[in-house]
Structure 1
Amino acid sequence: MTRGSDRADLVIVGGGTAGIIAAKTAGGLGARVVLVERDRTGGDCLWTGCVPSKSLIAAARAAQSMRTAGRFGITPVEPQVDFAAVMAHVRGAIERIEPVDSPAALTDAGAEVIAGTAVFTGPDELQVDGRSLRFRHALIATGSAPALPPVPGLAEAEPLTSDTVWDLVELPARLAVLGGGPIGCELGQAFARLGAEVTIIEATDRLVPREEPRAAIVLSAALSADGVRVLTSTTVTKAAEQAEEVRLDLTGRAGTSVLDVDRLLVATGRRPRTDGLGLETAGVHVNEHGYVAVDAKLRTSNRRIYAAGDVTGAPAFTHVAGMHGSIAATNALLAPVRRIDHDTIPWVTFTDPEIAHVGLTEDQARQRHGDAVRVRLLRHEHVDRAIVEDDTDGFTQVVLDAKGRVLGATIVAPRAGEMIAELTGLVARRGRLRDLASMIHPYPAWSDGVWNAAIAESSDALQTPAKRRLTGALLRLRRAR
């Protein structure tokens, strides 16, 4: 859109995943779309989130495989970790993926990309560094940023976050991770496998508290086996930088203690990036936590303006932001008919083993559906692929309603993230687990856990008195021929 043209069909504020997908969707529809980004396109996923963290995890997995080769009859060795080379590998992965999210790629998709800071100046207008842009619709996709908890001395101790940890040039000898959620556990395990002495500090009574309790038990054991010290029900009451280390005052089950480390990584939560946007001027309301309030169609209180991704307080995953961007763009440009269903969103914690989840946990399902809820649990000690790889600590758990429909599922396994999709489909369409029993799965694969759970469900469905009478009658009829 040129300076002299009419107002844009869609102005997008933010060039992360939600903004990029929205821009490409709008461009594909032939709309006049403008994307405003104050920093660099690609967002947290490309620069500080998914891509660098999974690159680091891959390097750490390679190191750990050298230590644990003895179980396969191969002489184990302690790897020589070149941390600078590891970080070069991380940067290389970013560089290979970046062109897909670049301004040039967005321009090719039909969007005008403007570098600058956007501020709403009215319900249908904003300014970018003094340039006015009028719009028919706008999309707020500014994301979120790491938040520091209110611990005395914490900010002064210059902690690392998931944004700044990638600036490290040397591996910390001693690393404390504040927060035992997905980010804390992923990075904590990775740094431990690369050679750091890692302590994870979690305020609740278990790691990854939104997951099934049995998943947290398996993960805690895996981290401990990797040399990670796990402190649950523990809080940091004070942080102080002294000499070349950080001292943490802790309060836990056993009372108070002190922990000295070289670096501290904070992974306790995030906050929306809404400062300075002029949301009040635009008539856009935020909730009590500062996130932009939206309905199921991602509309804000100003019906011209939509919001997508982390800034809405939705689960902070790239795939959620991408779906938000697609829904918001089509709703704004065509008709507001598409809705987001957060109950059907899968997620994966990329530790080793991975934890993949979709839908309701067992406790959530019982709260909504009562005692009719059933749980189908298959431990991976009964999965042949797990046996041959000597990795049998995981499980497949499926939560069912009274009719056998899938309400939720959790998989703990080395490739759990690759296995959760077919169960996500069942959750989304309220399908029955036993319907998978007739679908042939490859053998031996990790997905045998899902298939065997479905076969067991199908087999049990035949054991009701009525069905046993029916099968008995059919057998007698066949014998009489």
Structure 2
Amino acid sequence: MEYTHDVIVIGGGAAGLTAGGGCALFGLKVALIEGHKMGGECLNNGCVPSKALIASARRAAEAREEKRAGVQLAAPVIEWGGVHAHVHKAIADIAPHDSVETFEGMGCEVIQDWAKFTGRHSVEVGGRTLTAPRIVIATGSGPFVPPIPGIGDVPYLTNENIFDLAEQPEQLAIIGGGVIGMEMAQSFCRLGSQVTVIEPGTPMGRDDPESVALVVDRMTREGVRFVKGKAEKVAQTADGGVVVTVDGGVEIAGSHLLVAVGRSPRITDYGLEEIGVKTGRGGIIVDERRRTNLKHIYAIGDCRDGPRLTHVSGYEGSRVVLEIALGLPSKVDYRALPWCTYTEPEVAQIGLTEAEARAKYGDALTVVKEGFDHNERAIAEGDTEGHLKVMLKGKSVVGASICGPNAGELLLPFSQMITGKAGTFDVGGAIIAYPTRSEITKAAAFKAWEPTVFGKWPKRWVAFLAKIRRMF
């Protein structure tokens, strides 16, 4: 078969851009196909706009604080048009990184249209039939909307349209207490909306409970209302708002409703069933090398069954580049998988949580906990809320949970320790700039060795040396 390309990549989000751009930079002939917006979910209605909104909300929150460190700020004056402009400026400023021109410059043929498989090696797009020996599916995911009675009869928001609001919600009801729900709840509350979070379980349920408790407490003090229960039905009110009925009969009214209960893989209308690609409830089924059951077709990022995070998508894209361009079999390694929820305080996790580690290692597990109330940078800043928990099997790190300002920035050394690229002894003995919050990492790492360093045999050796020195 004579192929039109070496590689076809379907999807121009984090996963597809990494895979397509990487292969093109190695000199392969790449077709990069995107039917909607270049940059995908993260750039257009995910990570970038949400973090821009969080930044605006943080400024408002700081201005509301009582006098701190001897300084009193003026009360915030919030202009929604300015917040909206800031969010969309962030998108526009980052968009060139993911643009058609950028990837054409790398050597990709970028095609802006929708693709569909017509065979196991062929894809139809824009009236053309493209063929390649390797194909990468990177079609991403979209917001999952649960089948709540009445949901189809009311206007509701998801992450795909909440950042386009021309006016600020007066009352925002949020179904879902996960990452999106919690970040948006705190942000809109800080910007002046009345916010209610409806969650049947524990908010941020995959994170460390001690860390989550600090976040929920902070958000409650700031004015967010939490209602524990399942949304049973939704109805529109006479004034165009919504009312959510929670099991038990509690009714939550809102001018706006945000649905934030998870993600669904985008895998329909691409012809996958017709060519025999196997899928499951969580998305396209792949092996550790991100290959589908048709080994020349890969599925990476949110469309496949697995973790849905932007940095995971980029990581898998790079793994596929090694496979396709260099012929190096590359299994994914998620022992040190990090994630962060950008509430205040931030909650960051890498590797196993304490609960997961205890379930796996039982009595062989040691948990080291360091509070920021002992960190001198935090004390000097007057912000000591939060902690670091390190899960150790022997002296090896298997996970870490961090809660506090910029918690996500402290994850990198734990990635190195979990994967064996650095040890707790190395980090515990490192020279760390003073005063920094990262000193908490060194303190926790040293605790793994403290019993050994100051144990019986080192003390006997020190006593022996001291005795010898006294003799001369």
Bin the TM-score by the shorter chain. Answer: over 0.9
- Establish whether residue 151 from structure 1 lines up as the match of residue 144 from structure 2: no
- Tell me if the contact between 2:286 and 2:305 (Cα under 8 Å) persists in the aligned partners: no
Q: CA deviation at 1:431?
A: 4.6
Query: Alpha-carbon deviation of 1:455?
Result: 3.0
Q: Which amino acid aligns with 1:203?
A: P
The one of 276, 283, 286 equivalent to 2:276 is 283
Please say if 1:470 is aligned against 2:469.
no
Give the distance between the partners of 1:188 and 1:374, measured in 2 at CA.
35
1:457 to 448, 451, 455: 448
Q: 1:393 and 2:385 equivalent? A: yes
Q: Distance in 2 between matches of 1:454 and 1:301?
A: 42
Residue pairs, 1:259-338, within 5 angstroms? 259-287=252-280, 289-338=281-330
Deviation at 1:111, TM superposition (A): 0.2
Q: Match of 1:437?
A: 428
1:26 aligned residue (6, 14, 23) = 23
Deviations 1:139-179 (A, max 9, x none): 00000000111211123222100111012011111111111
Structure 2 residues not aligned, in runs of 5+: none
Q: Secondary structure at the match of 2:133?
A: strand
- The equivalences for 1:7-156 within 5 A come to 7-156=4-153
Deviation at residue 434 of structure 1 after TM alignment: 3.3
Contact 1:406 1:431 survives alignment (8 Å): no
The 1:434/1:207 distance shift into structure 2, 3 A limit, reads farther
Indicate the SS of the match to 1:208: coil
- Paired AA for residue 455 in structure 1: F
Distance 1:210 1:478, change over 3 A: farther
- Aligned-pair distance for 1:464? 3.1
Q: Which amino acid aligns with 1:241?
A: Q
> How far 1:283 sits from its partner (Å)?
2.5
Equivalent position of 1:229 in the other structure = 225
* Worse-matched range after superposition: 73-82 or 174-183: 73-82
- Aligned counterparts of 2:434 and 2:208: Cα–Cα separation in 1: 28
Q: In 2, are the aligned partners of 1:137 and 1:332 still within 8 Å (CA)?
A: yes
Q: Distance in 2 between matches of 1:92 and 1:129?
A: 31
DSSP-derived class of the 2:205 partner? coil
Q: Which residue pairs with 1:209 in the alignment? A: 205
Identity of aligned residues (%): 37
1:472 CA displacement = 3.0
Q: Say which of 334, 356, 375 aligns to 2:367.
A: 375
Counterpart AA for 1:216: V
Contact residue 9 and residue 333 of structure 1 kept, 8 A? no
Q: Quick one: which amino acid aligns to residue 276 of structure 1?
A: D
Output one character per residue of 1:26-50: Cα deviation in whole Å (capped at 9) or x when no partner: 1111000001111121101110011
Secondary structure at the counterpart of residue 44 of structure 1: helix
Change (3 A) 1:193 1:466: same
The answer to whether the Cα contact below 8 Å between 2:212 and 2:347 also exists between their aligned partners in 1 is no
Distance 2:168 2:12 in 1: 31
Decide whether the 8 Å contact of 2:396 with 2:423 is kept in 1. Answer: yes
CA contact (8 A) 2:23 2:324 kept: no
Check the 8 A contact 1:200/1:228 in 2, yes or no: yes
The alignment yields a C-alpha RMSD, in angstroms, of: 1.5
Alignment correspondent of 2:214? 218
Asked whether the equivalents of residues 5 and 132 of structure 2 are also in contact (C-alpha less than 8 Å), the reply is yes
- Residues 34 and 114, structure 1, Cα contact 8 Å, conserved in 2: yes
Q: CA deviation at 1:430?
A: 6.8
| Cα distance in structure 2, aligned partners of 1:330 and 1:78 | 53
Q: Residues of 1 paired with 2:282 and 2:444: CA distance?
A: 42
Gapped runs of 5+ residues in structure 1? Answer: none
Q: Which amino acid aligns with 2:357?
A: A
**2 CA distance for matches of 1:368 and 1:183?**
29
After superposition, the C-alpha distances for 1:37-66 in whole angstroms (9 at most, x for unaligned) are 111211011100111000000111111111
The Cα shift of 1:256 comes to 2.9
1:239 aligns with 2:230: no
**Cα distance in 1, alignment partners of residues 427 and 354 from structure 2:** 21
User: Once the 2 structures are TM-superposed, how far is the Cα of residue 107 of structure 1 from its aligned partner?
Assistant: 0.3
Measure the CA separation in 2 of the matches of 1:350 and 1:186: 6
Number of aligned pairs? 470
C-alpha distance in 2, partners of 1:210/1:312? 20
SS at match of 2:250: strand
The normalised TM-score by structure 1 is 0.95
TM-score normalised according to structure 2 size: 0.96
List per-residue Cα deviations over 1:58-81 (Å, max 9, x = no partner): 111111111115122222433110
Say if 2:100 and 2:110, in contact at 8 Å, map to a contact too: yes
The aligned amino acid for 1:72 is A
* Letter paired with 1:109: M
Amino acid at match of 1:47: N
Tell me the amino acid that sits aligned with residue 449 of structure 1.
I
Q: For 1:137 and 1:14, locate their aligned partners in 2 and report how far apart those are by CA, in whole Å.
A: 15
Shift of 1:465: 2.9
State whether residues 405 and 431 of structure 1, in contact with CA within 8 Å, keep that contact through their aligned partners in structure 2.
no
Partners of 2:52 and 2:90 within 8 A in 1: yes
Tell whether the 8 Å contact from 2:12 to 2:39 is kept in structure 1 after alignment. yes
Q: Determine the structure 2 residue equivalent to 1:162.
A: 159
Which residue number in structure 1 is paired with residue 246 of structure 2?
250
Letter of the aligned partner of 2:410 in structure 1?
Answer: M
Q: Which amino acid aligns with 2:268?
A: D
